[in-house]
Amino acid sequence: MVRLIDLGMQKLEVMLSEMAKEAINSMNMLASFKKGETARQLKEISRKLKRLKEEVGEIVLEIIARYQPMASDLRFVKSSLEISYDLYRISRYSYDIALALDDADVSLEECMEPEVQKNMLRVKEMLDLAIKSILGKEEGLAYKIKQMDQQVDKAYRDYFNKALEFKGGRCTVANLLIMRYLERLADHCSYIADEVLFIVKGIYEQE
Amino acid sequence: MSDSLPFVFEIVALNVWINNRHILKDIRDLRIPRNSVFAIMGPSGSGKSTLLKVLNRLLELREGVKIEGEVKFNGENIFNIDPIRLRRKVGMVFQQPNPFYNMSIYDNIAYAVKANGIAKRKEEIDEIVKQSLIRANLYEEVKDNLKRQASSLSGGEQQRLVIARALALKPEVLLMDEPTSQIDVVGARKIEELIIELKKEITIILVSHNPQQAARVSDYVSLLYDGKLIEWGPSQRVFTYPKSELTEKYVAGRMG
């Protein structure tokens, strides 16, 4: 027999899947960046995810108030709230990257340095893994994401130090901003991994 | 008996049979921390009420009961303690409110005080009655007419009168067997608030079939299933991440 709470939980799962799809989409759009247009599209996606995040919050509140979830239900409901925020932030940072390129009036083809490109691919992989880890509640993937987050952090620090030595220029500023936003994107993937570990193991692991 | 131990009760080992039916099965190493609310959950027939009645030796009043094991109260085996003395320290509140219906509110408490030799002088008894009603959060509702019959009170008020009567004997522990199951929502909420208030002074062991209620009021929680102790621990941990699959199913409403 279906429990009443399951209807609300299924709704949450559907919404998170939709948000995940849009978050992945927002990162993919950066690969085919077009001045002005990409930022405009990403702004729309980011707004949509913000709305969905608020809806997730309302559903979570309703589930808690109506059904007082316990055990794995409680963990999933609580984590849904956090994950929806992370997915929204991921779309927002993708938009910020597009905005940085527009503001610097450069394109990815002319500016993107190999380490920036490598880091972007790494963060995209992290996001894919994060989505898979949510859907499959796979702790192994969650640990992998946390390891990759350290690599992204290191790449950002290295590039930052390298940029200090440069004389500057549009591309350097754009790349530095991209690296900074990628570092934040990776953090949100890592937070999703934390939530997956909480759903599976019931505790937040210390760094 | 020592009240300086961190645990008021310790079930070292316990087996109970009623009419040759094994009701409580090898319950071990269950410790009830002092000044806490300890909830015992479980489906009907799991042995919750039986366990509660073992703790103040009420079960032994029934025929066909066989108890084996060791249960410590303040470090002393309860089966070596005079039952009357034990019940003074370990009060009990039942599912169905059971005030003395033909007595007044005042007499319900005064009678218990006198019968147990707590006080003799009228002024002293008056004060105990008043303080007990205050502690049971009932005084404000009844102070203008303490001579009212207990039967004129609502179900929730009757239950709080029973609690006030138990508190008048200055117990260390209050055993509560589904104390809100016969009471409306408002009355139940008041009893839950009272439970939280009382744990500052005494230990409360609460039998509840309702995980949500146990989550609201308890500091520690246990699950009994088919007479076996499945799991116990801090409520926050058990309700968030139960160790046992049975507990997971029970608290999440997936059982049966």
Mutation target vs B (from A68, A73, A74, A77; most B CBs, 10 A cutoff)? A68
Amino acid at B175: L
Give residue limits of the domains in chain A. 4-201
Of A5, A70, A201, nearest to B239 by CB-CB distance is A70
Q: What is the pLDDT of residues A27-46, one digit of tens each?
A: 999 988 999 999 999 999 99
Q: Do B251 and A71 make contact, defined as CB atoms within 8 angstroms?
A: yes
Q: What is the pLDDT of residues A106-120, one digit of tens each?
A: 888 888 899 999 999
Residues of A with CB under 8 A from a CB of B: 3, 5, 68-75, 201-203
Q: Do B248 and A71 make contact, defined as CB atoms within 8 angstroms?
A: yes
Question: Average pLDDT of B203-228?
Answer: 95
Report how far residue B28's alpha carbon sits from residue B12's, in angstroms, rounded to the nearest whole number.
5
In terms of residue numbers, what domain contains B53? Answer: 2-251
Residue of A nearest to B212 (CA): A68
Report how far residue B71's alpha carbon sits from residue B38's, in angstroms, rounded to the nearest whole number.
16
Q: Do B240 and A71 make contact, defined as CB atoms within 8 angstroms?
A: yes
Helices in chain A by DSSP H: which ranges? 4-31, 37-67, 71-104, 108-111, 114-136, 139-165, 170-201
pLDDT at A1 over 80: no
Mutation target vs A (from B210, B230, B241, B246; most A CBs, 10 A cutoff)? B241
CATH code: domain of residue B240: 3.40.50.300
Residue pointed to by tokens 């299933």: B225
Neighbours of A166 (CB within 10 A): 12
> Is B256 a domain residue?
no
Tokens of B70: 């060791």
Question: Average pLDDT of B23-27?
Answer: 97
Q: What is the pLDDT of residues A145-162, one digit of tens each?
A: 999 999 999 999 999 999
Q: Based on the structure, what is the number of domains in chain B?
A: 1
Q: Do A70 and B241 make contact, defined as CB atoms within 8 angstroms?
A: no
Q: Which residues of chain A make contact with B248, given a CB cutoff of 8 A?
A: 71-72
Tokens of A199: 């759903």
With respect to CATH, is domain A4-201 assigned 1.20.58.220?
Answer: yes
Minimal CA separation from B37 to chain A, in Å = 19
Minimal CA separation from B252 to chain A, in Å = 5
Contacts of B178 by beta carbon, 8 Å cutoff, 6+ apart: B49, B95, B207, B208, B209
Name the pTM for this structure: 0.83
